Every structure is written in structure tokens, then in C-alpha cells.
Amino acid sequence: MSHILVTGGAGFIGANFVLDWLCQDGADAIVNVDKLTYAGNRKSLTAVEGDPRHIFSQTDICDGAEITRLLQSYRPRAVLHFAAESHVDRSIDAPADFVQTNVVGTHTLLEAVLAYWRGLDVPTRAAFRFLHVSTDEVFGSLGPADPPFSETSSYQPNSPYSASKAASDHMVRAYHHSYGLPVLTTHCSNNYGQFQLPEKLIPLMITRALAGKPLPVYGDGLNVRDWLYVGDHCAAIREVLARGRSGQTYNVGGWNEKTNLEVVQTLCDMLDTLKPKASGSYRNQIAFVKDRPGHDRRYAVDASKLARELGWKPAETFDSGLHKTVHWYLRNQDWVQEVLSGEYRHWVAKQYAA
Ligand code: NAD
Ligand code: DAU
């Protein structure tokens, strides 16, 4: 059986990708390499536990020797790199882990993959791909009338997180240009959907609304993000892996620009319908709090290259994707409650103390 190697496959997007991939006809087996930081959760992978096509390895991408051993053992035809420290607020609080995993880890992974790739026979080497999952945040912040980010927008990262992702993008690009490694890079917008840790906006708000806690909106709530349903992101990655041109970058976006306040109000309205409370609307829990330092004002993504070249477009509207997401969180409170214990609880206590 052929294999692909996925890093970060116990995180939010990685786990969704693993589950989605293994449902496809003729799917390769997956070697899932994840350090299981606070953001990694094997409970998200319960549906594929015991599936012989899913091989899990608790490994740090900074451990080059172990990555090499896995590559030599399973001989994957592609490596898909999701693993990262991914939370902007945490990067502002403590940037070192972001440099370690996102920069040093990506470089370590590239070194191991390059050595493996060089040892492949010619046709296998030509077909091999290294797909790097990046973010729209590397392009910085847009003004209200600016066109959305395109693949040729200049890099202007503003947080330690986006700076570390930008560094990893440049390293991936350099391994293509200097050594010929066949790479693909995707830049996606804000994902939402099942299995997202409730430190990111949408699951945080759902979880706190249900718990009767204040819904902390940073600043004036008018920062804009583009929202992409995670299932659409997974489909885009499959397309890019299958037919993307080596060395190219592809933007992935949902064509759903919303202010944070709009997002939170829409969530409150959905909960008012699906889980009404006796004491009035969930909107009454909205609380404006101190802004994130250096908070990027607007992200918007032009995903027309992906539509034009590979025929991908999102299947979900913001409304349909958000409904699925809210239903999932209402049905999966046990997953949420487990996450809410442990290290995550300390972060919330520190971040939202005031
Ligand atoms: P996440 O934080 O939910 O998951 C990250 C996963 O990587 C976790 O399972 C964690 O255990 C693992 N990991 C962290 N450090 C590791 C290391 N040193 N070695 C091995 N595994 C390690 O992140 P996510 O939201 O699923 O994001 C996945 C990727 O997509 C990231 O590269 C992120 O930058 C990118 N991205 C995310 C979004 C989004 O909205 N979530 C948007 C654009 C891009
Ligand atoms: O744009 C893609 C990026 O989206 C990814 O690269 C990151 O990995 C991912 O975390 C996400 O970054 P954001 O900073 O945009 O996501 P977050 O969910 O942290 O915040 C979304 C917006 O909501 C942002 O403008 C900050 C705001 N916010 C967030 C939290 C956690 C609040 O107003 N209150 C909050 O408590």
C-alpha cells in the first residue's frame, strides 16, 4: 500500500484532513506525525483508531533522526506539513515555541525530506510532493478598500506567529529553488469547523456562550477575517496535492469576509434558536475587551487561481458551515469538556483574567 506522511494530524485542520482523506476511494495510508502539544488531541482521531491505514507516531518535527526513520520505513509519495504552533495570542505571549516548531521544525523536516527524496528512483522522485500549509497572515493587514491578498502579495507579517510562518514559507521556497525539491504551498484564511480548540474565535464563543460566560470581543470588534469551512480546506489541499504545479503557491479562501462582531452576533442568534435560554439572548453576553497588541485589521483572500487552475471552490456558505459547526459543538460536549481540562484551562485563566 502507498503512504503519505502528514505532520500535525492530531490538530484541528490536520485531524479533519486525516479523517477526510481516509474516506476517499483508493486513499493511501497515512503516517501521522504529531508531537501532541496542548493543541494535539488523539480523541479527534477516534474514528480511525484501529484502521490499519492510519499509523500514528508521537514525534516532534524537530527530531530529524526519527523523521528520517519514518520516511525510510514507510516511503511516502508525499509529505503534507500541517504541524505548527498556530495561535496568534500565544505567539505574542511567548514567541520562542513558534520559532522552534515553525522555523527550526520546518527546516529540520525539509532536511530529512530532501535527503529521502534524493534517494528515490527517477520516476518516484518526479512524482513526489512536499505540501506546506501556510496562512494568509503572512501578507499582513489590508485597508478597507484594498483588494484581497493574491499569491503575489508582498510578505508583511505582523505577529510572531505570522513571522515564523513567513520564515517557514521562505525556507520551503528556497529548498525548491536551490535543491529542486518539488514543493507546493497553500495560504488559507481562517478555518472553522469540528475539532477546533476553543481558544480560537468561533469555538471559544460557542463554548463560553453555553457556559453563560462573557463573550470577549477584542477592541471595537470591527476587525475583518475571511472564513473557510475546514472541509472545504481539506478538499482544496487534496486538489493541490493531486494537480498543483510544483513550485507554485495557491491561496485558499471562503469568499466570506466578516467582522468579528458579525461572527459573534450570528453565533448568538443561532444559539438563540438551537439552544434558547430563559434569560434572553446570548448577545447580552458580548463584552468588548482590551485589543490584541498589533491586531491585524483585515484579511481577505483571492482564491481565483485555485478555481481557475484546479476547479476548486468552497462548497459551504458561511451560514451552512456555521450551522454544521454549531450543531457539532452542541452534540460533542464531551470532546469539549475533555479539552477544557488541563493546560488549556491555565491559558484561559491567564488570557481572560480581567
Ligand atoms: P493546531 O494548533 O490546531 O494543530 C497543530 C498540530 O501540530 C497539533 O496537533 C500539535 O500537536 C502539532 N504540533 C505542534 N508542534 C509540533 C511539533 N514540534 N512537532 C510535531 N507536531 C507538532 O493548528 P491548525 O489550526 O490545525 O493549523 C494547522 C496548520 O494550518 C498550521 O500550519 C497553521 O499555521 C495553518 N493554518 C491554520 C489556519 C486556521 O484557521 N486554523 C489558517 C491558516 C493556516
Ligand atoms: O488567517 C489565518 C489564521 O487564522 C491562522 O493562520 C491562525 O493559525 C489562526 O489561529 C487564525 O488567526 P486569527 O488570529 O485570525 O484567529 P483567532 O481565532 O485567534 O481570532 C480571530 C479574530 O477574532 C481575530 O481578529 C481576533 C478576534 N478574537 C479572538 C479571540 C480568541 C476576539 O475578538 N476575541 C477572542 O477572544
User: Lowest-confidence range among 123-132, 142-151, 166-175, 330-339?
Assistant: 330-339
Residue labelled with grid coordinates 477546533: 196
**What letters, b where the CB count within 10 A reaches 16 and e where it falls short, cover 272-304?**
eeeeeeeeeebeebbeeeeeeeeebebbbbbbe
74-111 pLDDT, tens digit each: 999 999 999 999 999 999 999 999 999 999 999 999 99
271 belongs to a structural domain: no
- Best CA proximity match to 209, nearest among 284, 273, 282, 280: 282
Q: What pLDDT is recorded for position 189?
A: 98
On the question of pLDDT at 14 being above 80, the answer is yes
Cβ distance 92 to 159 under 8 Å? yes
User: Lowest-confidence range among 136-150, 185-199, 338-352?
Assistant: 338-352
279 belongs to a structural domain: no
Instruction: Tally the domains of the chain.
Output: 1
81 belongs to a structural domain: yes
134 belongs to a structural domain: yes
For ligand 2, whether the C-beta of 13 sits within 6 Å is no
238 belongs to a structural domain: yes
Average pLDDT of the residues in 41-47 = 93
For ligand 2, whether the C-beta of 190 sits within 6 Å is yes
On the question of pLDDT at 343 being above 70, the answer is no
Q: What pLDDT is recorded for position 345?
A: 67
Q: What pLDDT is recorded for position 63?
A: 98
136 catalytic, yes or no? yes
Ligand 1 pocket test: pick from 20, 67, 82 the residue with the most ligand atoms within 8 Å of its Cβ. 82
Question: Distance from CA of residue 322 to its chain's centroid?
Answer: 17
**Which member of 34, 137, 296, 316 is catalytic?**
137
CATH number of the domain that residue 50 is part of: 3.40.50.720
First to last CA, the chain: 54
323 belongs to a structural domain: no
On the question of pLDDT at 153 being above 70, the answer is yes
> Structural domain of residue 306, as residue ranges?
3-196+227-256+294-317
CB atoms near residue 51 (< 10 Å): 13
Question: Distance from CA of residue 261 to its chain's centroid?
Answer: 22
Average pLDDT for the chain: 96
Between the CA of 84 and the centroid of ligand 1 the distance, in Å, is 4
Going by CA atoms, what residue is nearest to atom 20 of ligand 2?
Answer: 201
User: Confidence band (pLDDT; 50, 70, 90) for 344?
Assistant: low
211-235 pLDDT, tens digit each: 999 999 999 999 999 999 999 999 9
Cβ distance 79 to 5 under 8 Å? yes
User: Confidence band (pLDDT; 50, 70, 90) for 340?
Assistant: confident
Average pLDDT of the residues in 240-260 = 98
**Which member of 85, 136, 199, 257 is catalytic?**
136
Going by CA atoms, what residue is nearest to atom 34 of ligand 1?
Answer: 86
Q: What pLDDT is recorded for position 350?
A: 78
66 belongs to a structural domain: yes
On the question of pLDDT at 51 being above 70, the answer is yes
User: Confidence band (pLDDT; 50, 70, 90) for 354?
Assistant: low
51 catalytic, yes or no? no
CB atoms near residue 308 (< 10 Å): 9
161 catalytic, yes or no? yes
Residue list, ligand 1 pocket, CB within 6 Å:
7-8, 10-14, 34-37, 39-40, 60-62, 82-86, 101, 105, 133, 135, 165, 188, 190-191, 197
Distance in angstroms (rounded) separating the CA atoms of residues 269 and 96: 39
For ligand 2, whether the C-beta of 251 sits within 6 Å is no
The two beta strands, 215-218 and 286-289, are: parallel
Going by CA atoms, what residue is nearest to atom 21 of ligand 2?
Answer: 201
212 belongs to a structural domain: no
Average pLDDT of the residues in 116-121 = 98
